[in-house]
Amino acid sequence: MRNTFKILFYAKKNAPLRNGNIPIMGRITLNGERTQISTRQSVPLKLWNASLGRAIGRSSQALLVNEQLDRIHYRIEHCYHMLLCEQTPVTLCMIKERYLGTDRQKHGLLDFFRRHNEEFFRMVGISRSKTTYYKYRSVYRHLERFIPEHYGCNDLYFR
């Protein structure tokens, strides 16, 4: 499947800051869906070029803002490409979470199920039945084959 992926920076003119500058926002588009992020950058309105999505001029403030926007652009693209390399279906939410660093705790369905079965096995003979354990183990094996075949990835991850 081919993904269309774009990153755009724009000034939020209707929400000026107290110092008179306007905040710069980022928009990530993937297959027609959009999400926004804050760049935590701001410039005076006169320095912003909407068609280029960059600050204009050679002032130190414009150069600094453009450098930061380039870094942000690179980091978002890097997150997108890393997610593609992991062979999971990439979503906007995944890109944004990876960029913001909130995706660190990835829990997969198979990993969760495997830990459940290990815990269940420890309780066999105490408060759990051995036949029920065998059924859970069988379901795990079926899932282990089903997920790569139908989803094209090794595991399905929870949020």
pLDDT of residue 15: 87
* 13 and 91 assigned to the same domain: yes
* 111 and 92 assigned to the same domain: no
State mean pLDDT over 22-47: 93
* 45 and 123 assigned to the same domain: no
pLDDT of residue 36: 93
pLDDT of residue 101: 78
For the cut 70, the answer to whether the pLDDT of residue 35 exceeds it is yes
* 33 and 95 assigned to the same domain: yes
* 94 and 38 assigned to the same domain: yes
Cα dihedral sign, 28-104-39-65: negative
Tens digits of residue pLDDT in 86-143: 767 888 888 888 888 776 556 788 988 999 999 999 999 888 899 999 999 999 999 9
* 94 and 17 assigned to the same domain: yes
* 118 and 62 assigned to the same domain: no
Phi, psi of 25 (to 5 degrees): -110, 160
For the cut 80, the answer to whether the pLDDT of residue 37 exceeds it is yes
Domain that holds residue 135: 107-158
pLDDT of residue 154: 85
Q: Which of the listed residues 57, 79, 100 is the one where a domain comes to its end?
A: 100
* 96 and 154 assigned to the same domain: no
Contact 37, 99 (CB under 8 A): yes
* 50 and 91 assigned to the same domain: yes
Closest Cα partner for 80 from 90, 93, 68, 70?
A: 90
Number of domains in the chain: 2
What's the chain's Rg over C-alpha atoms?
23
Q: Which of the listed residues 81, 100, 119 is the one where a domain comes to its end?
A: 100
Q: How far does the chain reach from its first CA to its final CA, in angstroms?
A: 24
How would you label 132-145 residue by residue, b for 16+ Cβ within 10 Å and e otherwise? ebeeeeeeeeeeee
